[in-house]
Structure 1
């Protein structure tokens, strides 16, 4: 039986971690094709990835951030695409089970998996929030509706992803999943948590400081508010994180030109998750 899911990995300067991830993915049944997007690495990432079977390496001249994944989805020849980071991989049975769920639920555009961190397999803090989503479970659905996910443990229907436009190059990295979740929901696709799907994440030691990540996420949440939320939410976001305003300023014009306010249904879901629904 041939795989119907391609694994897409965007990476930069983490050859050792990527080597382990690709080795772990070789245990997935059936073995999936993998597309590695090398975000202008300065180490031997491309050479290491190229040693593995069923891996296509695309070397990018510039670091495109999360949006590099879009190219991987475009070249994938399968109806479903699973994302991994260079320090995460899928349990051997996860992709086969995800394919079954997608086949049975044609309106599901994304499945968020259970994320297990480190060798002790502790749950990522995001996992319980997804599992206990207040948005409920659609009738006959595979799990609770969600309006967010972790990219390292998400599987998408390729057609839905392309329809939604993929990850935004405006955001680069940090909270990029939120905008894609909004855009999938705005187009009528369901996103569901499926706890039987497992992804393993062994966070790399080679990563920016957590303070850098927090700044990027605050900036991007403000940009996402400008892109998709009512103005009252833009103001609320800016007031809640005033330090994000200066770093967002250089990108605000592009965000304004890309502004498409969410449908009322999706905005209400967003406010429910934020605890501000009326």
Structure 2
């Protein structure tokens, strides 16, 4: 990975300043509390519009663009239009792992993540910071994602909210997962996590991250006040993408969940492979990763396993009771973010 030239921003980015006396009698204003990181690849129109919205926010957050090897004019145009924005480039498409280098550059207490078609509403980041400050046990806030006119909530948000097991003592419903393209992370937790696993970068990376966050004793919360807008996109998964998502979900289960849950996830993956008429190739790919996966096996604590099972049961009920919402969720895909 190569960082962009100096014209796209300083290496360290803005640093928070304490409120101590500066020596001249004036008290320095505190610096920004949250950095926004935007993941993009070959969506020059969307990323320019999104960065323009983010740089105009009243919170004035530092903005870092994590470019996943764009071959269009994304990098050059951003550098010329937004010289204050830091651009981090990779040589290819690393999926969710494309966030990782940008994470290392953040110098604020919190990091807000979005993709090139998603932007945070004015005041939403301040609301997120306040809630994270007030609840140090919360590591991740999942934003409420709506269309530009705020009339339609993203199906993944509806599913997360509908399957939450509760949220006593938290600033919102507790979650067993989060949308990687619409969340606010506590930076210290993110660094301890080590970012997203590159082998799972095109599906399952946030699933593994959520299990590790919960296993470390932190909470993940759905936050209505952390409002984000998303440009409507029609995204249809290919056969290979469907199989990769199912395979990676099974890998995550083998890495973090008890045998019963891992076997169930494997069964679900095989069913997807069969529906996609790719049982042989996809099944071989699943098996080929077994050694890598089992070397990383570390079963999550009992309370985390219980939470994942509760959410899984709730998802089944939602799919059975509200098939239209479940279909929209399947098409948009929480894991597709």
What RMSD in Å do the two structures reach over aligned CA positions?
1.9
Q: Aligned with 1:109: secondary structure?
A: strand
Determine the structure 2 residue equivalent to 1:117: 147
Shift of 1:134: 3.8
Contact 2:120 2:227 in 1 (8 A): yes
Taking structure 1 as the reference length, what is the TM-score of the superposition? 0.91
| CA distance in structure 2 between the aligned counterparts of 1:119 and 1:95, rounded to whole angstroms | 19
Gaps of 5+ in 1: none
Q: Aligned with 1:115: secondary structure?
A: strand
| CA distance in structure 1 between the aligned counterparts of 2:290 and 2:151, rounded to whole angstroms | 40
Question: In the alignment, does 2:239 pair up with 1:227?
Answer: no
Larger Rg: 2
Q: Aligned with 2:289: secondary structure?
A: helix
- With over 3 angstroms needed to count, the CA separation of the structure-2 counterparts of 1:210 and 1:89, relative to structure 1, is farther
- With over 3 angstroms needed to count, the CA separation of the structure-2 counterparts of 1:231 and 1:76, relative to structure 1, is same
Which moved further from structure 2: 92-101 or 129-138?
Answer: 129-138
Q: Aligned with 2:131: secondary structure?
A: helix
| CA distance in structure 2 between the aligned counterparts of 1:215 and 1:111, rounded to whole angstroms | 29
Contact 2:138 2:220 in 1 (8 A): yes
Structure with bigger strand share is: 1
Taking structure 2 as the reference length, what is the TM-score of the superposition? 0.76
Shift of 1:238: 1.5
Shift of 1:46: 0.8
| CA distance in structure 2 between the aligned counterparts of 1:256 and 1:49, rounded to whole angstroms | 42
Number of equivalenced pairs: 274
Show CA shifts across 1:70-97 (max 9, x none).
2111110111000010111100111111
| CA distance in structure 1 between the aligned counterparts of 2:88 and 2:164, rounded to whole angstroms | 40
Show CA shifts across 1:100-155 (max 9, x none).
1111111110001111135564111121233344421132x211110111112100
Question: In the alignment, does 2:254 pair up with 1:216?
Answer: no
Contact 1:174 1:220 in 2 (8 A): yes
Map residues 1-278 of structure 1 onto 2, 5 A cutoff: 2-50=31-79, 51-117=81-147, 119=149, 121-139=151-169, 141-204=170-233, 209=237, 211-242=239-270, 243=273, 245-275=283-313
Contact 2:243 2:269 in 1 (8 A): no
Gaps of 5+ in 2: 1-28, 274-281, 315-337
- With over 3 angstroms needed to count, the CA separation of the structure-2 counterparts of 1:131 and 1:209, relative to structure 1, is closer
Q: Aligned with 2:220: secondary structure?
A: strand
- With over 3 angstroms needed to count, the CA separation of the structure-2 counterparts of 1:58 and 1:208, relative to structure 1, is farther
